[in-house]
Amino acid sequence: MTAFPVAQPLTVGNIYAALEQANRSDLHPRLSASQLGGECERQIWDGFRWLFPPERFDGRKLSIFRTGEVWEERIVGMLRAADMEVDDVDPATGEQFRIVFAAGHASGRTDGKVRNVPEAPKTEHVLEVKSHNDRSFKDLLKKGGVREAKPAHFAQVQLYMHHQHLTRALYVCINKNDDTVYAERIEYDAVAALQLVAKAERLATQERRPSCTCPSYFLKAGYGCAPNDGLMPNRNCRTCLHATAHLDGDARWSCARWTQDLTLEEQRAGCPSHLFNPSLVPGEQFDADEAGEWVMYRLADGSVWKDGGVG
């Protein structure tokens, strides 16, 4: 006999709804330092080019994110209680320390800087704080540290050290199941950092959509590129063949159609002359008319599709 689903109490539903209402999900203008260590360049590029709407999280997941913020505050308090000096905000801005690189097309925010670390009291460290569930925490221990178990986190701290001219990072995390604390000092790796900077510059200016390199188990579970598989991208300047990201200026984008630089607002809005970047269309281009502003494609299913023009 099939069991009836248990109805969610109104109180719980209202709590989750309030979290969803308060959460603002928007298209991020820059590549994120936290993403650049990811395995799939397509997923990173798609997000930077605004192919699809930002992921919207339900109230339960948003609550998990809030819990992560609480853990960060708690761990900073633990470090201070253990006589370490922690700067968790930039005195110049009153906000988290921020790095910007790849000519303004990439950025990141650190959890702070820490001094008087017992293993190296005189060395200032980048501080990176995380919370893990039991499985993730045990994987970190089993694989012997951040570099092997959490490559995206390793990439983050390398970029932070590189741009803040520091040679060590202190990675502190907690097992949310039993409060076990893990701490690891990570050494600056100039080669790894410079490779990540080069990766950011390459992805920012790359015109063709990269191939998907998500692990198969990720795709099967519906993560990575999987949720957007087969969807037509959004229309905005970053999905248009006329738009180019430049490595001069500050996060500069230009439009060849209108021969002008594009503001962030203009990039989001797009214009009636939008033509899709050919690498985003699931087919082969076989005809085009520059004056008529259209491109013709033969799609994978054999049908013909006209992008742009009138009629």
- Backbone conformation region of residue 270, classed left if phi is above 0, alpha if psi is from -120 to 50, else beta: left
What are the structure tokens assigned to 93, written together? 């801005």
Q: Is 164 helix (H, G, I), strand (E, B) or coil?
A: helix
Alpha helix ranges (H) inside 119-180: 134-142, 146-149, 151-164
Average pLDDT taken over every residue of the chain: 91
What digits encode the pLDDT tens for the residues 4-45?
666 677 887 787 788 777 777 678 899 999 999 988 999 999
**25-to-62, 174, 190, 211 alpha-carbon distances in Å:** 11, 27, 34, 26
Number of Cβ atoms within 10 Å of the Cβ of 122: 7
What digits encode the pLDDT tens for the residues 144-192?
999 999 999 999 999 999 999 999 999 999 999 999 999 999 999 999 9
User: What's residue 265's pLDDT?
Assistant: 96
User: What's residue 79's pLDDT?
Assistant: 98
What digits encode the pLDDT tens for the residues 154-166?
999 999 999 999 9
Query: Are 286 and 298 contacting, i.e. CB atoms less than 8 angstroms apart?
Result: yes
Q: Which of 81-95, 213-227, 267-281 is predicted least confidently? A: 213-227
Query: Are 259 and 273 contacting, i.e. CB atoms less than 8 angstroms apart?
Result: no
With a cut of 90, say whether residue 125 has pLDDT above it. yes
What are the two backbone dihedrals, phi and then psi, of residue 23, each rounded to the nearest 5 degrees? -85, 125
What digits encode the pLDDT tens for the residues 86-109?
999 999 999 999 999 999 999 999
Query: Are 149 and 31 contacting, i.e. CB atoms less than 8 angstroms apart?
Result: no
283-289 vs 294-299, strand pairing mode: antiparallel
In one letter, which amino acid is 301? Answer: D
Tokens 């109104």 -> residue: 10
